[in-house]
Amino acid sequence: MTVLEAIESRRAAKAFDPNHMLPEAHLREILRAGALAPTAFNIQHNRLLVVKNPEIRRKLRAVSWDQPQVTDASALIVVCADVQAWRKNPARYWRNAPEKVQDTLVDAIKAFYTDRDQAQRDEALRSSGMAAMNLMLAAKSLGYDSCPMDGFDFEAVAKIIHLPDDHLISMFVAIGRNTVPPKARSGFLEDHERFFEDGFPVSGGSQASIAICVSPSV
Amino acid sequence: MTVLEAIESRRAAKAFDPNHMLPEAHLREILRAGALAPTAFNIQHNRLLVVKNPEIRRKLRAVSWDQPQVTDASALIVVCADVQAWRKNPARYWRNAPEKVQDTLVDAIKAFYTDRDQAQRDEALRSSGMAAMNLMLAAKSLGYDSCPMDGFDFEAVAKIIHLPDDHLISMFVAIGRNTVPPKARSGFLEDHERFFEDGFPVSGGSQASIAICVSPSV
């Protein structure tokens, strides 16, 4: 399966086969794909928590609008981030680099994040999205379906998984075998609503936004 | 190239060939990949702005720590999001669904986002990360390199691209041909720092966190 085929055929699965087991080797390949997603300054703040215990899965489902994917998926990954990773011995993120490079980057990391709570949070969410996409595409390439989820009580989930105070939860990625074929896309945006060139339209101004014809038939 | 190969070989490019041109057909495939990333409730709030004008590229570089990728990449995509997309005729995101489903989802969208500014922003960042990852992997699969960037003056970039007040900028994805081979990974985290099972460690408690041996040699 090519990358473009995986991207095109990945759809949110809602009805996983609860009896399907994900081989451990495949879970490891999927997790490794998540770990390989980029992070700014290589701070690698994503934390991937796999919930295997059925009792914990049931507790999570109870605080996730009772969505069956939470218990029925073959793997449930809670994608989290250590929001304070940038300040936890940042030299280790560059330990293989020459000392001068390492020092420069550690200074840059501190300058970029210190006293910038919203930037720290934004970074965690942004990075977690990239990691989650890798998880889903790796799963697809190995023959599985996935469901990205953020419809749950974040505080309740944090308690169940003992989330450290300086971490956040971004989303769940549920992975398994879907038992029903995906429906047609429910309402794909027109190109001119999504793609822009050089600038957004300025009302009354001279700069036009040009839509790029990408998806004539979806 | 398989998905796992693309994920493994994607590295941040820092020295693009400024003379390389990206064929328009490939740019379209890459943008379409970005559009196919999932969004909660299918609100599709990502907005992908391609900067082709060299003068605008130069202006952006000037507010991006003078990083050469901004002007030298064959394509520069500013990944943005319409933070208020959830309230802009949300029925259109489900226009192909049965009317009852559509009504239920529109109600759910309003219930989820109304008066929740931080949740709206988190959602935009999370979704933009997923879209950006698709852009980078699609580029890789077509034979290009990429660089995810958020080292720039967000307010200055917003002015240059005429960002609407209710949108945000998440990051740049620069795409092109890298002219130098990637260095070895600078400091890949140990598994036990990144992967957890069932719960995070509780100090003094009984629940242990189990590291998953995923990346023995990186």
CATH number at residue A112: 3.40.109.10
pLDDT(B31) > 60: yes
Q: Are B106 and B49 members of one domain? A: yes
Q: Are A80 and A105 members of one domain? A: yes
User: What percent of chain B shows pLDDT beyond 70?
Assistant: 93
Structural domain boundaries, residue B41? 3-183
Q: Encoding tokens for residue A14?
A: 């809602």
Q: Encoding tokens for residue B185?
A: 């990974």
Q: Are B84 and B35 members of one domain? A: yes
Nearest to A187 among B95, B121, B163 (CB): B95
A-B CB pairs within 8 A amount to: 268
b/e per residue B98-116 (b: at least 16 CB within 10 A) = eeeebeebbeebeebbeee
**Residue A205 has what pLDDT?**
52
Q: Are A50 and A12 members of one domain? A: yes
Task: State whether A195 and B123 contact (CB < 8 Å).
Answer: no
Q: Does B103 touch chain A (CB under 8 A)?
A: no
Q: Are B96 and B189 members of one domain? A: no
Q: Give CA–CA dist B92/B102, Å, rounded.
A: 9
Q: Are A141 and A192 members of one domain? A: no
The interface residues of chain A toward chain B in range 180-209, judged by CB-CB distance below 8 A, are: 183-189, 194-202, 205, 207
- Which among A1, A4, A5, A121 is the top mutation candidate for probing chain B, defined by the most B β-carbons within 10 Å of its own β-carbon? A4
Burial class of residue A117, CB neighbours in 10 A (0-12, 13-18, 19+): exposed
pLDDT(A48) > 90: yes
Taking contacts as CB-CB distances below 8 angstroms, the residues of chain A near B198 are 49-53, 56, 161
Q: Which of A11, A8, A35 is nearest to A144 (CA)?
A: A11
Q: Give CA–CA dist B119/A173, Å, rounded.
A: 18
Q: What are the phi and psi torsion angles at B19 (to 5°)? A: -95, -5
Q: Are A214 and A159 members of one domain? A: no
Q: Give CA–CA dist B5/A203, Å, rounded.
A: 45
Q: Are A134 and A198 members of one domain? A: no
Smallest Cα distance from A166 to chain B, Å: 12
Q: At B167, which helix (H) or strand (E)?
A: strand B167-176
Q: Does A98 touch chain B (CB under 8 A)?
A: no
The interface residues of chain B toward chain A in range 111-170, judged by CB-CB distance below 8 A, are: 112, 121-123, 125-134, 136-138, 140-141, 148, 150-151, 160-164, 167, 170
On the CB side of B170, CA atoms within 13 Å amount to: 34
Q: Are B122 and B209 members of one domain? A: no
Domain count, chain B: 2
Q: Give CA–CA dist A48/A76, Å, rounded.
A: 10
Q: Does B176 touch chain A (CB under 8 A)?
A: no
pLDDT by residue (tens digit) across A151-201? Answer: 999 999 999 999 999 999 999 999 999 999 999 999 999 999 999 999 999
Taking contacts as CB-CB distances below 8 angstroms, the residues of chain B near A140 are 3
Q: Are B48 and B108 members of one domain? A: yes
pTM: 0.95
Q: Are B41 and B106 members of one domain? A: yes
Q: What share of chain A is helix, strand, coil (3-state, %, to 5)?
A: 45, 15, 40
pLDDT by residue (tens digit) across B168-215? Answer: 999 999 999 999 999 999 999 999 999 999 999 987 554 444 445 444
Q: Does B96 touch chain A (CB under 8 A)?
A: yes
Task: State whether A202 and B162 contact (CB < 8 Å).
Answer: yes
Task: State whether B94 and A136 contact (CB < 8 Å).
Answer: no
**Residue A203 has what pLDDT?**
74
Q: Are A94 and A122 members of one domain? A: yes
